[in-house]
Amino acid sequence: MKARILFLVSILVVGGLLWSGLQAVHPFGEPNAAPMDDYFIANAQSEAAANNVVTSIVFDYRGFDTLGEGAVLFTAVISVAALFRKRGQH
Amino acid sequence: MNPLSVVARTVCNLFAWFLAVFGIYVIVHGHLTPGGGFQGGAVVATFMAFLLVAHGGRKMQSWVRKELFTLMECIGLTVFISAGLLGMSNTFFFNFLAKAGGLFGSTVPLGPNPGALNTSGTIALMNLSVGLEVVGGLSMILLYMFSGVHPEEPFGREETGHDR
Amino acid sequence: MTGNFPYLVVGILFVMGFIGIVFEKNLMKIAIAVSVVEAATNLFIITLGYRSGGSIPVWTMAGSGSSRMVLPTPQALTLTAIVIGLATTALMLSFAMSIYRHYGSLDVRDVRRLRG
């Protein structure tokens, strides 16, 4: 019972904060001015020579993010392998 | 886990190859069409998921070697980091192959175009390497999770399907 | 109001996942709830980057009137988030399997006791 009241209070606080933040969000379909995205769309073909703008961002403009992503995937694989290793194996 | 019936096994054997071919298409055309290394790698890893669900874990453990997938993942990550480091004379992850004329080095006409495969420099190379890495990693995760399902069973026990 | 319907869907998904995380007792259901919250977050990021009437940010075989494109950066970030969510989901399920093997139960009230 106590936990339920605590949960109600917490969800009211969190929901109020999220709702107050939602007042500043632009309506659906009309984003604010995005000069970075316009630059990517206009220059991805001439700079990165790639037709797919999303791939040129993932692997060229923001390649460092993708390096971290690969590291996360590698860590997950290593963790699963360490969890399920056989008892006799090293 | 036990293998499925003979109908399910036949269908999975057939459609796993179609999924592998489609995933390789998504990886290779990552710089032209929607998709890329991660998505295509996940689709190719469905090949291993199909075979594992259809044939059971122990039979697949005897058919494939985990070292193969470890090797694929390590090769993928190494090629990815090397392609980032080779452009180090300019910046990290500099696209040094684009518009250079060699491998993946053609220029792209501006605006909507049909798309040529020999473009986009290191992006295509990184697509291939990341696809290799994701295929290896997800297949390893699936193999390890299937090997951990029944760990206490005696090893020599035969897996039986519904048709036997 | 109907124009902002995707935000409503995001809110419903987020609240459902949050309630699932807090109130569910089964570890598998908690993992599913975490995935639902993840899907809500991805949908929110994609929704923020949508331009009405825009096409996908790919120039291959694009139509002539497709100069108006959807913002590409949220899509790239969502791609990263999806792969990381996949890795965390695999890790969560592996831990759930390991816990079931150790305790013989997936109920969080049984898992609470310490056992060597």
Proportion of chain B above pLDDT 90, given as a percent: 32
Estimate to the nearest angstrom the gap between the alpha carbon of C46 and the chain centroid. 12
For the segment A55-60, the average pLDDT, to the nearest whole number, is 89
Read off the pLDDT band of B160 (50, 70, 90): low
Residue C28 maps to a domain: yes
Read off the pLDDT band of B150 (50, 70, 90): low
**CB nearest to B111's CB, from C59, C79, C98:** C59
Residues of A in contact with B37 (CB under 8 A): 59
pLDDT tens string B44-67: 999 999 998 888 877 888 888 888
Chain-chain contact of C97 with B148 (C-beta, under 8 angstroms):
yes
3-state secondary structure of B113: strand
Q: If phi over 0 gives left and psi between -120 and 50 gives alpha, with beta otherwise, what is residue C53?
A: left
Chain-chain contact of A75 with C83 (C-beta, under 8 angstroms):
no
Please choose, from the candidates C76, A89, A80, the residue with its C-alpha nearest in 3D space to the C-alpha of residue B137. Answer: A80
Q: Give whole-number Cα distances, B141 to A28, A81, B42, C18, C111, in Å.
A: 38, 7, 12, 27, 25
CB < 8 Å from C in window 28-47 of A: 28-31, 34, 36-37, 40-41, 44-45
Residue C78 maps to a domain: yes
Write down the pLDDT at residue B41.
Answer: 92
Is residue B30's pLDDT more than 80? yes
How far apart CA B54 and CA B3 sit, in angstroms, is: 6
CB < 8 Å from A in window 18-57 of C: 18, 22-23, 47-53, 57
How many independent structural domains does chain C possess?
1
Q: What is the domain range of residue C82? A: 2-52+68-111
Write down the pLDDT at residue A76.
Answer: 92
For the segment C41-68, the average pLDDT, to the nearest whole number, is 83
Write down the pLDDT at residue B136.
Answer: 92
What tokens appear for B152 in the block? Answer: 């206490």
Residue C40 maps to a domain: yes
Q: How many angstroms separate the CA of residue C94 from the nearest CA in chain A?
A: 7
Residue C58 maps to a domain: no
Q: How many angstroms separate the CA of residue A64 from the nearest CA in chain C?
A: 11
Give the chain A residue whose CA is nearest to the CA of C4: A28
Average pLDDT, chain B: 84
Is residue B155's pLDDT more than 50? no
What are B54-58's contacts with CB under 8 Å, separation 24+? Answer: B54/B3, B54/B4, B54/B8, B54/B9, B54/B12, B54/B13, B55/B3, B55/B4, B55/B9, B55/B12, B56/B1, B56/B2, B56/B3, B56/B159, B57/B1, B57/B143, B57/B146, B57/B147, B57/B149, B58/B159
Write down the pLDDT at residue B77.
Answer: 92
CATH of the domain at C20: 1.10.287.3510
Residues of C in contact with A51 (CB under 8 A): 58-60
**CB nearest to B108's CB, from A45, A67, A81:** A45
Residue C43 maps to a domain: yes
Q: Give whole-number Cα distances, B99 to A52, B102, B113, C18, in Å.
A: 16, 8, 17, 49
Phi/psi for B5 (5° steps) reads -75, 175
Q: Tell me, what's the ipTM?
A: 0.81
pLDDT-wise least confident of A72-86, B40-54, B93-107, C23-37: B93-107
Please choose, from the candidates B94, B95, B37, C61, the residue with its C-alpha nearest in 3D space to the C-alpha of residue A49. Answer: B95
Contact status, residue B164 vs residue B6, Cβ threshold 8 Å: no
Residues of C in contact with B28 (CB under 8 A): none
pLDDT tens string B71-90: 999 999 999 999 888 888 88
Residue C25 maps to a domain: yes
Give the chain B residue whose CA is nearest to the CA of A50: B120
Residues of B in contact with C101 (CB under 8 A): 148, 151
What tokens appear for B12 in the block? Answer: 């999975």
Contact status, residue B48 vs residue B142, Cβ threshold 8 Å: yes
What tokens appear for C113 in the block? Answer: 């006791």
How far apart CA A20 and CA B106 sit, in angstroms, is: 50
Backbone CA torsion sign across B48, B51, B53, B55: negative
Residues of B in contact with A53 (CB under 8 A): none
How far apart CA C38 and CA C34 sit, in angstroms, is: 6
Contact status, residue A86 vs residue B148, Cβ threshold 8 Å: no
| C12 touches A: beta carbon within 8 Å | no
Chain-chain contact of B137 with A64 (C-beta, under 8 angstroms):
no
Residue C60 maps to a domain: no
Residue C81 maps to a domain: yes
Please choose, from the candidates A38, B14, B19, the residue with its C-alpha nearest in 3D space to the C-alpha of residue C54. Answer: A38
Residues of A in contact with B119 (CB under 8 A): 49-51
For the segment C103-114, the average pLDDT, to the nearest whole number, is 80
Write down the pLDDT at residue B156.
Answer: 47
Is residue C22's pLDDT more than 80? yes
